[in-house]
Amino acid sequence: MEEKKQSKSLSISLLKWKLNKEELKNQIDNYNTLGFTKSAKKVATALLILSIVITLVLGLFGIVSLGETWLDIILLAVLAFFVYKGKKVAIILAMIYWTFAKGYQLVSNPQQVLWVIIWWAAYMGVFFQAYQVEKARHKMSQEKTEEPVVRYCQKCGAQNQEGSKFCTKCGNKISIS
């Protein structure tokens, strides 16, 4: 039942931006095993790939100039790769790119304002969810690596906290090496 709830939040409710604590925990705990429609980073990657496909189709049918969109296609492909790899900076760059792309679309075609805003909000919601997951994963990895260093006394073998100059058991001077 919980898995179904998670699936809904990412693939159906595209306008939902913030993950609740249970969703975030599920994303982190099942980071490598969640399916393509249930993982925030995989949905974000899929949306970037969808944008590549749409751009190519529009270019092939002459709706947009394919010559001018190759840079967008390459940029989207690179972003998709690094978003899939879970790189926070790529997710942030995807959000910036998407905001500028939709802003340009609004300026060049103002009669489609509603569709542009909905399209922007749907993508940004997914990007933000992916960012939340990666940020939480990074924070967890930092907490794991910041465990206190334990030093052992060369004389009696007692454990001493990092920064201790003298053994708490025997008073021997603790060497830094």
Are 153 and 117 within one domain? no
In terms of domains, do 27 and 85 share one? yes
Q: Are residues 164 and 127 in the same domain?
A: no
- CA-CA distance, 87 to 21, in Å (whole number)? 21
What residue type is 104 in one-letter code?
A: Y
pLDDT band with cut points at 50, 70 and 90 for residue 146:
low
Q: How many domains does the chain have?
A: 2
Q: Are residues 129 and 154 in the same domain?
A: no
* In a shared domain, residues 10 and 74: yes
What are 22-54's pLDDT values in tens digits?
Answer: 999 999 999 999 988 899 999 999 999 999 999
Prediction pTM value = 0.73
Least confident of 3-12, 117-126, 139-148: 3-12
For the chain, the average pLDDT equals 86
Q: Which residues span the domain enclosing 92?
A: 2-145
The answer to whether the CB of 2 falls within 8 A of the CB of 26 is: yes
Same domain, 13 and 76: yes
- Asked if residue 94 and residue 173 are part of one domain, the reply reads no
Query: Is residue 177 domain-shared with residue 140, that is, in the same domain?
Result: no
Sorting pLDDT into bands at 50, 70 and 90, what band is 96?
very high
